[in-house]
Structure 1
Amino acid sequence: MSNHQSEADPAIIALLLEKTNPHIAENLTYVAGDRVVTDPLCKPFSMGRNLICVYSKNHMLDVPELVEMKRKANTRSLKEMALLLRGGSRIVWIAPSGGRDRPEPHTGECGQRRLAEHSGPPGHIYPMAILCYDIMPPPAQVEKEIGERRVISFHGTGLSPAPEFSFSEISAACGSPEEAKEEYTGALYNSVTEQYKVLKSTIHGKRGLEASIPSVSLSQLWN
């Protein structure tokens, strides 16, 4: 479960892992919006990646006559992801917020836990933060038309995965299923936020590895 900065995220993740864990990047499956295969600027970042495409809720109603088609396509994508998880030994990257990070903070419901629980093989959910916003920031506002105007630049980047989160452990400490869902979603969000703040201090604050804290230990493995 990760935040989502731009269409360059899969390429950034692959670059940051290629020194120590290239097999992870090669076998990762990304849940991505349909624009990654339709927008001419986004397409190159998607080539060679394992993708499960979904239609974003932000654009679901753009063309009313296509709403039903989009919903059916999303249902097929959900079934495809369930099949992947049932096969075991898969890593799936999901951005629960449903869109790219923008200046205003936002959160999203975390409904993917149910897929992991009913996949057959044991499912594991890890919060992860990525910082690469300044490389290719999205427009300030959500745009309906394909062909967003973008600025691409050179900038530092970072990736921070956290230990696994267990829903059963959180649920055992809560009084009701609804409370457990809220606690679990909040815990995942807080973990990603904490990691992102450390990455921001490392890169934007120019603190380097000194920005590490007990729960987020950073390294630069290619040095």
Structure 2
Amino acid sequence: MWRNSYVGNLSLFYEIEEKLKQGHNVVLISNHQTEADPIIISLLLEKTNPLIAENMIFVAGDRVITDPLCKPFSMGRNLLCVYSKKHMYDIPELAEMKRKANTRSLKEMALLLRGGSKIVWIAASGGRDRPDPFTEEWYPALFDSSSVDNMRRLIEHSGTPGHVYPLALLCYDIMPPPRQVEKEIGEKRIITFHGAGLSIAPQISFPEIAAACKESEAKDVYSQALYKSVSEQYNVLKSAIHGKQGLEASTAGVSLSQPWN
């Protein structure tokens, strides 16, 4: 995987490590490509930022612990499992159980954040990215503004300084999900060797966003700002990996590196 893999804006990961050492909380609002995302993120950062790689908490869907193919990618990761809205009513009689499980996970998240020095990754779309059915191009799935707002509120109410950063991940070729959302566990999957990319952009402040728009629009505008940043970073990673531009794909906003060299 490593020869054609890149990390964008590595300096910001060092910045985050300092904030964690100071007792601050950090939430990474990200796109989601495959169940291997947690281990890929950790591998990409283990040499330069071991504090982040070892302590990141991943808000993950239930498939990472129920699908036999996906379980190995979750071993050794810090997971808080939730049921996605997309699968809440797959089996109607289990919907109430899933809602209660999600409530327990949110309460556990709140307790963790109150302790400070936590870094949390969450896929704000509530599921994996999928290719456009007409162009076959992959792109980050749209964010659910309610999910983004829930994490923002958890940070605000933790009693500890908190920061929200947009993070982009490109690694779908390693284990692409099915083209359509499937209800059943046991999806047919193909695993291959391929380059991967990870990029982070400066934190985005909700108060600054809220001050520039109507109060009723602030939640959606904030989510859109995070999504725009993730999409822009994703396009740089795509140019570096799929466009084979490598480090030359770097832009004014995304400085690429290969930190294991």
TM-score, length basis structure 2: 0.83
User: Counterpart in 2 of 1:55?
Assistant: 83
What secondary structure sits across from 2:194 in the alignment? coil
Alignment of 1:28-39 (within 5 A): 28-39=56-67
Q: Distance in 1 between matches of 2:62 and 2:221?
A: 31
Kindly indicate which of the two structures has a greater share of residues assigned to strand. Answer: 2
What secondary structure sits across from 2:80 in the alignment? strand
Q: Distance in 2 between matches of 1:99 and 1:85?
A: 23
User: Counterpart in 2 of 1:68?
Assistant: 96
What secondary structure sits across from 2:30 in the alignment? coil
Amino acid at match of 2:120: V
Q: Distance in 2 between matches of 1:127 and 1:29?
A: 16
2:229 to 187, 191, 213: 191
What secondary structure sits across from 1:75 in the alignment? helix
Q: Distance in 1 between matches of 2:117 and 2:62?
A: 25
Q: CA deviation at 1:96?
A: 0.7
Q: Distance in 2 between matches of 1:99 and 1:71?
A: 17
Q: Are positions 1:96 and 2:134 aligned together?
A: no
What secondary structure sits across from 2:162 in the alignment? coil
Residue-by-residue CA offset, 1:64-101 (whole Å, 9 max, x unaligned)? 11111110000111111111111110000000100011
Q: What 5-or-longer segments of structure 1 have no aligned partner?
A: none
Q: Are positions 1:204 and 2:232 aligned together?
A: no
Q: CA deviation at 1:221?
A: 1.5
Residue-by-residue CA offset, 1:13-56 (whole Å, 9 max, x unaligned)? 11101111122111010000011111000000111111100011
Percent identity of paired positions between Structure 1 and Structure 2: 75
* Number of residues of Structure 1 aligned to a counterpart in Structure 2: 222
The runs of at least 4 aligned residues of structure 1 exceeding 6 Å deviation read: none
Q: Distance in 2 between matches of 1:144 and 1:90?
A: 32
Residue-by-residue CA offset, 1:132-174 (whole Å, 9 max, x unaligned)? 0100000001111111110000111110011111011111222
Q: Distance in 2 between matches of 1:34 and 1:18?
A: 25
Q: Distance in 2 between matches of 1:75 and 1:66?
A: 15
User: Counterpart in 1 of 2:167?
Assistant: 128
User: Counterpart in 1 of 2:181?
Assistant: 142
- Asked if the contact 2:46–2:54 (Cα under 8 Å) also holds between the matched residues in 1, the reply is no
TM-score, length basis structure 1: 0.97
Amino acid at match of 1:25: A
Q: Distance in 2 between matches of 1:122 and 1:215?
A: 25
Amino acid at match of 1:197: N
Q: What 5-or-longer segments of structure 2 have no aligned partner?
A: 1-28, 133-138
Q: Distance in 2 between matches of 1:3 and 1:141?
A: 17
Q: Are positions 1:43 and 2:71 aligned together?
A: yes
Q: Distance in 2 between matches of 1:169 and 1:62?
A: 39
**Larger relative contact order, structure 1 or 2 (CA cutoff 8 Å, min sep 6):** 2
User: Counterpart in 2 of 1:180?
Assistant: 218
Q: CA deviation at 1:117?
A: 1.2
User: Counterpart in 2 of 1:216?
Assistant: 254
What secondary structure sits across from 1:164 in the alignment? coil
Q: Distance in 2 between matches of 1:221 and 1:52?
A: 28
